[in-house]
Structure 1
Amino acid sequence: MRSIINWFQNRYRALGNLVSRQAPYIVIFIVLLSFGAVLCFDRIVISVHSGELGVLWRRLGGGTVLDTVYHEGLHVILPINKMYVYNVRKQQYTDSIETLTTDGLSVHVQFQVRYFIAPDMLPLLHQRIGPDYVDVMIRPEVRAAIRTVFGQYKPEEIYNNQKSNQERISELSRIRLEAGYVSLDDVLIVSITLPDKISQAIENKMTYQQIDGEYAYRLSIAQKEASRRKIEADSLALYNTTLKSSLSPDVLRWRGIAATEELAKSNNAKTIVIGSGASGLPIILGKE
């Protein structure tokens, strides 16, 4: 047992002597190792922030890892490998394009595209398209959809059907991007600029349409007023005809007597009856 302890003590002293002799080299090695660790820290320790996902590329392990997506948090990898971090939140960009209508006129269109990456498809997106997927895939496909839709209409139809055109562009863009590992949320048309002469002609036409509508409204009111007056006149004529046929001499005489009685009862009236009138009614004279 004592021999074993002596052996360990000898080994320890021998190691101490070795370290003492090689101390400068050990310090240099530690410094170089520390410098290398600092230099490669960003390649070894990878932070995936909120709203991001990572895809790992292995230099000696088959390239892009297709069956694993690295979620938010801290990940440690070999310095010879590389992790690509993607933003998987809903994103948007603004773009503009010059396109032609069905009659060959140029139209300037400004639009916004909203999109997001499908997390399960991220490794394939990275392998087959890469980090520049917006410029490589989304931008050309949306532009092509806008040219396709606007190329089917005249400038006036584009101006008057902006909402339906936007819906068609969004739907066509989604179809084009279905196999592109990116989900398209919407394509928003911000502005449409027509040639000055065409724009002025459309505005003039719309002004004349408003004036025509105002004239039609006035004509409708005049026709209704004429119909009202005709109905009123017909009703008055019918009333007079009916009244005339019902007013016999006896009825008129009776109404006259009733009116004379009411007048005679008045406190302010002094009545003198002298004979009778041509109609057989009393003649009333005198008045305060």
Structure 2
Amino acid sequence: MKKISQIILIAILSTSCAVIRQGEVGVKSKFGRLNPDILEAGMTGFNPFTTRIIKVPIRTVNQEMDLSLPSKEGLTIESEISILYSIEKNKVPFILEDVGQNYERVLIMNVFRSAAADITSQYMAKDMHSGMRTEIENQIQERMHESLRDRGFIVERVLMKSIQLPEELSRAIERKLQAEQEAQQMEFILERERKEAERRRIEAEGTRAAQIILAEGLVREIIELRSIEAFRELANSPNTKIIITDGKAPFLINTPQEK
């Protein structure tokens, strides 16, 4: 009998203690009435016959959902979106009393659906698949923050993880991107050819200028001087030669050397 009493006592003690983990707070509900005091992380005791502990996470929560979003041109865009939010610790009793424990489904998700539909309907479908996605995410976040901040919710980020455009629109965007890439490649080739043509033009102008300078420098006196120098070098040569000249330019005929 004593052993049974001990077992019952242990069972009562174990059910009258609750452990609140890091990133959570607890609120006591006694006969359905919420205690405004917040229980911090750790172990706390309570009367299991009259009281229960409601635990609420105050760390950042990631809520993912699939949603069909409207676009400005009336298309339906399938998307997978993450909402990162947290709860102000001091507002937890108010949230439980005002909305209940299903605050995520009752409040956050409904506010998100409304905000997302209002924002995306102002943008073209292709914008959700481009660099404007961040702008759309920020506007949805701001709209949700305006609706939820006074109720104790902090919307940290809205992330459009995947966007599925209608098949025909996706093909059109791919064709456009391909055409833009081809146009950029062609522009690169044309620019390269223009630079090469400019290089050749500058090179040709340099060669022409050099030829002009050389031609202008070959005056009659210089030509005669060069001829005299050539005659002098020929005269000093030990080889037998026949030189035919009109006095201006020599013409050389080599003869075999005697052995």
TM range (shorter): 0.7 to 0.9
Match of 1:45 in 2: 17
Query: Which amino acid is 1:286 matched to?
Result: N
Please give the per-residue CA displacement for 1:35-60, whole angstroms capped at 9, x wherever unaligned: 59846953x33222333211112339
1:277 aligns with 2:245: yes
Point out the structure with max Rg over C-alpha.
1
Cα distance in 1 between the residues matched to 2:105 and 2:255 = 108
Structure richer in helix, relative to its length: 1
Which of residues 167, 173, 196 in structure 2 aligns to 1:225? 196
1:241 aligns with 2:212: yes
Query: Which amino acid is 1:70 matched to?
Result: L
Please give the per-residue CA displacement for 1:223-270, whole angstroms capped at 9, x wherever unaligned: 22222222222232232223222211221232344456667778xx72
1:182 aligns with 2:153: yes
Q: 1:121 to 1:245 in 2, by over 3 A?
A: same
Q: 1:260 to 1:181 in 2, by over 3 A?
A: farther
- Which stretches in structure 1 are left out of the alignment for 5+ residues? 1-26
- Kindly, what percent of the aligned residue pairs are identical? 22
When the two chains are superposed, the root-mean-square deviation of aligned CA atoms in Å is: 3.0
How many Å apart are 1:211 and its aligned residue?
Answer: 0.9
Q: 1:132 to 1:258 in 2, by over 3 A?
A: farther
Contact 1:137–1:180 (Cα < 8 Å) also in 2: no
Please give the per-residue CA displacement for 1:1-56, whole angstroms capped at 9, x wherever unaligned: xxxxxxxxxxxxxxxxxxxxxxxxxx8xxx799859846953x3322233321111
* TM-score (structure 1 length as normaliser): 0.76
Report the number of matched residues: 254
Please give the per-residue CA displacement for 1:73-122, whole angstroms capped at 9, x wherever unaligned: 22222321222111222221211100110110110110111122211111
Q: 1:201 to 1:265 in 2, by over 3 A?
A: farther
Structure richer in strand, relative to its length: 2
Cα distance in 1 between the residues matched to 2:159 and 2:140 = 9
* TM-score (structure 2 length as normaliser): 0.84
Q: 1:52 to 1:158 in 2, by over 3 A?
A: closer
Which of residues 11, 36, 46 in structure 2 aligns to 1:77? 46
Cα distance in 1 between the residues matched to 2:169 and 2:211 = 63
Q: 1:254 to 1:168 in 2, by over 3 A?
A: farther
Cα distance in 1 between the residues matched to 2:13 and 2:196 = 91
Q: 1:109 to 1:261 in 2, by over 3 A?
A: farther
